[in-house]
Amino acid sequence: MEAEASTSAIVPQDTDTAIPLRASAGGRESGKLWKSTRAATRRTQMPKSLKSKSWEARVAERTQEEATRKIAKEMRDEKQAEADRKREVLRERRKVKEEKARLEAMAAKLSAKKLARMKKRAGRSKTVQQ
């Protein structure tokens, strides 16, 4: 009986009027019995500008947006591909330049050794001649 009285009405101490409470949905108690039941949002609550569009107009708008997105994506992909190609060309140029510098350094090193050998031989021949 106490549970029935507590869920059916709340009596404020300063007034004699009872405030009716709603039962919880699905038998679950949220502890917020004072909140009103809310209805789902309806199409009637939308602005007239959105409601007035027909299904065909919305489909046409959607297809146009998709086409625009597709073109924009293609443009971005082309730009990215061009940037990747330039990056690859630059990488190849650097690679060739480094290889050329390495070969030149190796050739200079070898020629220095060869010059040293030639000087050594020339020195021997000079000592022999003297």
> What's the structural domain count of the chain?
1
The set of long-range contacts for 48-51, using a CB threshold of 8 Å and a minimum separation of 24, is none
pTM: 0.41
- The confidence score (pLDDT) of residue 1 equals 46
- The arithmetic mean of pLDDT across residues 111-127, rounded, is 78
- Which of the two residues, 54 and 29, has the higher pLDDT score? 54
Average pLDDT over residues 63-74: 95
Q: Is the pLDDT of residue 113 over 70?
A: yes
Residue 90 pLDDT: 97
Does residue 69 fall inside a structural domain?
Answer: no
- Picking from 25, 45, 48, the residue whose alpha carbon sits closest to that of residue 37 is 25
pLDDT band at 10 (very low <50, low <70, confident <90, very high): low
Quote the radius of gyration of the chain (alpha carbons, Å): 45
Q: What is the band of 120 on the pLDDT scale with cuts at 50, 70, 90?
A: confident
Indicate whether 116 belongs to any domain.
yes
Is the residue at 111 inside a domain? yes
Answer yes or no: is 105 within a domain: yes
- Proportion of the chain above pLDDT 90, given as a percent: 33
Predicted pLDDT of residue 94: 97
Q: Does residue 125 lie in a domain region?
A: no
Residue 63: inside a domain, yes or no?
Answer: no
pLDDT of residue 89: 98
| Helix, coil or strand: residue 6 | helix
In a domain, 68, yes or no: no
Helix (H) or strand (E) holding 20: strand 19-20
Alpha helices, DSSP H, located in 16-54: 48-51
**If pLDDT is split at 50, 70 and 90, which confidence band does 81 have?**
very high
94-to-51, 85, 90 alpha-carbon distances in Å:
61, 14, 6
Residue 88 lies in a domain: yes
Q: Which domain holds residue 114?
A: 75-120
Residue type, 32: K
